[in-house]
């Protein structure tokens, strides 16, 4: 089979989604060529049009509407392109929903990843960056998570991440010392937030966001009435939950650094990707008020099931080994999020596209 060209590509699964699309932008900025696969279950291809606009491209980013559950289509794509690396974002990601419909999550995230690994193996593609999550860590009061902290999760979503780390590790072990030795990077993201500084790209979570910052942004722009603060009796400085928020463009850059690491022949690496700083819910609301210049109404509600006091990473391994540190501040996060939310109050929806 003759490949489309000898040009080497990065296959980005889930590349129209929030983290995927910002990473596509960073990859292109850093000289990588990409092919995006997504079934658009939680995103719109408009995100790639925005990447093209920001970069002033006069060509379209190659996009294929393929569900990872469709092995034959995936395999055909691997035969068409010369992939050197895969960055695997595609997954369903709502923790609460995963408790309600676990089989869908297991099938989508688990079987989708198996198909991808099978296609990689069949087509001799040995390099993968896998989107993992802070959720794989077992919660231990007060400690900052290190990559070798105990693992264990409490939701079907979390288990799909933990299980896929094990599956990829098992596959990696079979290749050690062979000609097709794999290079694998697991990035355990903490809380990705914010938007591209242009205001053209950001997170598009639909009407009722599950996560704090997209919800705060929708209240700030007047699309929702008030923020519901889930509990004020946590063991934290102001009683509200503390998390490790990271700007989406910092997170995107971590993927570029991971490919650079893979090129050195890194074997299997695991990195926490966060800032190492924790902010409470009330601090995040306050920071967003500063960015938008007006008060953001909130009420204190009861705790959300499964939430804990504090989740903050120790980022020192990524700093030492990947040379990755965050560059954007909390102010940047809120200013960029506010710019995106103001310019795109309905996300990437069609009505909004003529205005940007
Ligand atoms: P997202 O929903 O915006 O992006 C995921 C993309 O995958 C979507 O575009 C969706 O349409 C696509 N997709 C899902 N199932 C698919 C399938 N079977 N075939 C093809 N495409 C499929 O989510 P995101 O926030 O960009 O997350 C990207 C990755 O990072 C996910 O793996 C997620 O679990 C992980 N992650 C996210 C966070 C977070 O807070 N956003 C934190 C830690 C880890
Ligand atoms: C942050 C803080 C809430 C919403 C989730 C997943 C995790 C990872 C990242 C994928 C908490 C509080 C929230 C609201 C609130 N995703 N909150 N009102 O729970 O840290 O992490 O996203 O891998 O697996 O669990 O993020 O943004 O939902 O919550 O008070 O409307 O904000 O209680 O303290 P979380 P979040």
pLDDT in tens, 211-228: 999 999 999 999 999 999
Q: What is the pLDDT of residues 135-158, one digit of tens each?
A: 999 998 778 999 999 999 999 999
Widest pairwise Cα distance in the chain: 62
Ligand 2 atom at shortest distance from the alpha carbon of 243: 20
pLDDT value for 140 = 86
Please, what sign has the CA dihedral across residues 280, 285, 291, 293?
Answer: negative
Q: Which of 19, 195, 273 to probe ligand 1 with, by most ligand atoms within 8 A of CB?
A: 19
At 352, the pLDDT band (50, 70, 90 cuts) reads: low
Dist. CA 93 → ligand 1 center (Å): 6
Q: Please state, in angstroms and as integers, the Cα–Cα distance from residue 242 to each residue in 95, 168, 257, 275, 356, following that order.
A: 18, 31, 27, 13, 34
At 2, the pLDDT band (50, 70, 90 cuts) reads: low
Question: Would you say the CB of residue 208 lies under 6 angstroms from ligand 1?
Answer: no
At 5, the pLDDT band (50, 70, 90 cuts) reads: low
Q: Which of 137, 139, 157, 215 is catalytic?
A: 157
* Burial class, 242, CB count within 10 angstroms (exposed 0-12 / middle 13-18 / buried 19+): buried
Q: Please state, in angstroms and as integers, the Cα–Cα distance from residue 270 to each residue in 76, 182, 184, 316, following that order.
A: 30, 14, 8, 12
Q: Which of 16, 18, 86, 145 to probe ligand 1 with, by most ligand atoms within 8 A of CB?
A: 18
Pocket of ligand 2 (CB under 6 A): 93, 95, 133, 135, 191, 210-212, 215, 228-230, 241, 243, 281, 304, 307, 311
Phi, psi of 131 (to 5 degrees): -75, 100
Q: Compute the average pLDDT of residues 40-51.
A: 97
Angle at 47 between CA 97 and CA 108, to 5 degrees: 30
pLDDT value for 287 = 98
**Which domains, ranges and CATH numbers included, belong to the chain?**
9-194+244-276+310-327 (3.40.50.720)
Q: Which of 89, 243, 313 to probe ligand 2 with, by most ligand atoms within 8 A of CB?
A: 243
Whether the predicted pLDDT of 80 surpasses 60: yes
Residue whose Cα lies nearest atom 34 of ligand 1: it is: 93
Q: What is the pLDDT of residues 109-120, one digit of tens each?
A: 999 999 999 999
Dist. CA 36 → ligand 2 center (Å): 28
Question: Would you say the CB of residue 315 lies under 6 angstroms from ligand 1?
Answer: no
> Whole-prediction pTM value?
0.97
Q: Compute the average pLDDT of residues 186-197.
A: 98
At 351, the pLDDT band (50, 70, 90 cuts) reads: low
Q: Compute the average pLDDT of residues 248-265.
A: 98
pLDDT value for 143 = 80
Q: What is the pLDDT of residues 329-350, one digit of tens each?
A: 999 999 999 999 999 999 998 6
Ligand 1 atom at shortest distance from the alpha carbon of 108: 18
pLDDT value for 207 = 81
Q: Please state, in angstroms and as integers, the Cα–Cα distance from residue 34 to each residue in 18, 52, 63, following that order.
A: 16, 12, 9
- Write down the mean pLDDT value for the chain: 96
Is 172 labeled as catalytic in the residue annotation? no
Task: Determine what percent of the chain is predicted with pLDDT higher than 70.
Answer: 97
Question: Would you say the CB of residue 160 lies under 6 angstroms from ligand 1?
Answer: no
pLDDT value for 353 = 52
Whether the predicted pLDDT of 1 surpasses 60: no
Dist. CA 241 → ligand 2 center (Å): 9
Q: Using alpha carbons, select from 195, 324, 209 the residue that is nearest to residue 271.
A: 324
Dist. CA 13 → ligand 1 center (Å): 9
Dist. CA 43 → ligand 2 center (Å): 20
Dist. CA 76 → ligand 2 center (Å): 38
């Amino acid at each position: 089979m003759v490949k489309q060209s000898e040009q080497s590509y990065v296959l980005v699964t889930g590349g129209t989604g929030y983290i995927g699309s910002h990473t596509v932008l960073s990859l292109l900025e850093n000289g990588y060529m990409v092919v995006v696969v997504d079934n658009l279950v939680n995103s719109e291809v408009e995100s790639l049009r925005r990447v093209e606009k920001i970069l002033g491209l006069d060509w379209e980013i190659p996009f294929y509407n393929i569900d990872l559950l469709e092995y034959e289509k995936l395999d055909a794509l691997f035969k068409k392109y010369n992939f050197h690396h895969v960055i695997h974002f595609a997954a369903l990601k709502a923790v609460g929903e995963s408790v309600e419909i676990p089989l869908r999550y297991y099938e989508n995230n688990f079987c989708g990843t198996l198909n991808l690994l099978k296609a990689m193996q069949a087509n001799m593609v040995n390099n993968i960056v896998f989107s993992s999550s802070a959720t794989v860590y077992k919660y231990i009061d007060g400690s900052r998570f290190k990559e070798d902290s105990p693992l264990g999760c409490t939701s079907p979503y979390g288990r799909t991440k933990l299980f896929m780390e094990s599956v990829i590790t098992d596959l990696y072990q079979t290749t050690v010392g062979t000609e097709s030795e794999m290079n694998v990077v697991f990035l355990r993201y903490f809380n990705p937030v914010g938007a591209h500084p242009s205001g053209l790209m950001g997170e598009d979570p639909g009407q009722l966001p599950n996560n704090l910052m997209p919800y705060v942004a929708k209240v700030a722009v007047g699309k929702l009435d008030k923020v519901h603060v889930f509990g004020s009796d946590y063991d934290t400085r102001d009683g509200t939950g503390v998390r490790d928020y990271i700007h989406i463009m910092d997170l995107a850059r971590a993927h570029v650094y991971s490919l650079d690491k893979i090129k050195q022949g890194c074997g299997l690496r695991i990195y926490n990707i966060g800032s190492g700083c924790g902010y409470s819910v009330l601090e995040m609301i306050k920071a967003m008020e500063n960015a938008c210049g007006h008060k953001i109404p909130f009420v204190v509600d009861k705790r959300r099931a499964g939430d804990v006091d504090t989740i903050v990473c120790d980022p020192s391994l990524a700093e030492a080994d990947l040379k990755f540190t965050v560059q954007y501040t909390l102010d940047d996060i809120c200013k960029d999020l506010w710019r995106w939310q103001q310019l795109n109050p309905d996300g990437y929806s069609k009505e909004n596209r003529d205005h940007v």
